Amino acid sequence: MTDDEHPQLTELRELDQVYQPAEDSHLLASTAAADIDGGASVLDVGTGAGYVADYIREESGASVVGVDLNPMACEQARGRDLAVLRGDLVSPFRAATFDVVCFNPPYLPDAPEGVWDDWMEQAITGGEDGRAVIREFLADVGRVLRPDGSVYLLISTVTGLEDVRSLAADNGFGSKVIAEKSESFETLIVLRLSPE
């Protein structure tokens, strides 16, 4: 039997390949939504299943667009009636487009081989030190922000708070811790970054 004959199997496989909302997603979504003006233009980078984008849109009234490299994630997020583009980080967007950019990046150090495959590994692991994707993001996000814009970046103590703040400063951003939540092996942190 093929997946066409059993669409539920395809749906389950695709669900396994898309990062689903967890504690980090909710912390970023609730923190950003409480801080965002209803007239803001918001980009949710690495939107996954679209939870953060949907939450911000519903709670703040902002106009929200999602972006994700994973085609299955784009499809799931569109199921929430979100505008979603398939692309890598902020690369699909023109300069000075957004008032706010939110990102829950892959921030865990590389997983042992075979723990996750393909898309899920890309959604969770951030290179040897957990900061590879964050580096790439910080190098380009300033381009798509409007002059008074802000970035809401979720990280973990596993990733290294001071290391991330230093990367932000190297890319022209001041940073402020605006939310924290302790979990089993880490503390989740939301940083608000503002161009200096």
Can you give the residue range of the structural domain that contains 73?
7-195
Q: What is the edge-to-edge ordering of all strands in the sheet holding 98-103?
A: 83-86, 63-68, 41-45, 98-103, 145-156, 187-195, 173-182
What is the DSSP secondary-structure string of 77-140? HHTTT-EEEE-STTTTS-TT-EEEEEE----BPPPPTTSS-HHHHHHHB-STTS-HHHHHHHHH
| CATH assignment at residue 80 | 3.40.50.150
Higher pLDDT, 117 or 77: 77
Tell me what the mean pLDDT of segment 119-138 comes to.
74
Report how far residue 81's alpha carbon sits from residue 119's, in angstroms, rounded to the nearest whole number: 22
Q: Which of 3, 52, 8, 173 is nearest to 66 (CA)?
A: 52
Residue written as token pair 């059993």 = 6
Structural domain contains residue 68: yes
Structural domain contains residue 87: yes
Higher pLDDT, 25 or 106: 25
Amino acid at 152: Y
Structural domain contains residue 140: yes
Model-level pTM?
0.85
Indicate whether 139 pLDDT > 90. Answer: yes
Specify the pLDDT at position 129. Answer: 78
Specify the pLDDT at position 185. Answer: 83
Label residue 2 by pLDDT band (50, 70, 90): very low
Indicate whether 1 pLDDT > 50. Answer: no
Report how far residue 137's alpha carbon sits from residue 97's, in angstroms, rounded to the nearest whole number: 16
Q: How confident is the model over 36-70, as pLDDT tens digits?
A: 998 999 999 999 999 999 999 999 999 999 999 88
% of the chain residues with pLDDT over 70: 81
Structural domain contains residue 142: yes
Structural domain contains residue 61: yes
Report how far residue 46's alpha carbon sits from residue 56's, in angstroms, rounded to the nearest whole number: 14
Indicate whether 108 pLDDT > 60. Answer: yes
Structural domain contains residue 2: no
Specify the pLDDT at position 107. Answer: 67
Specify the pLDDT at position 121. Answer: 59
Number of compact structural domains in the chain = 1
Residue written as token pair 């709670």 = 59
Q: Retrieve residue 153's tokens.
A: 């970046």
- For residue 154, the SS3 value is strand
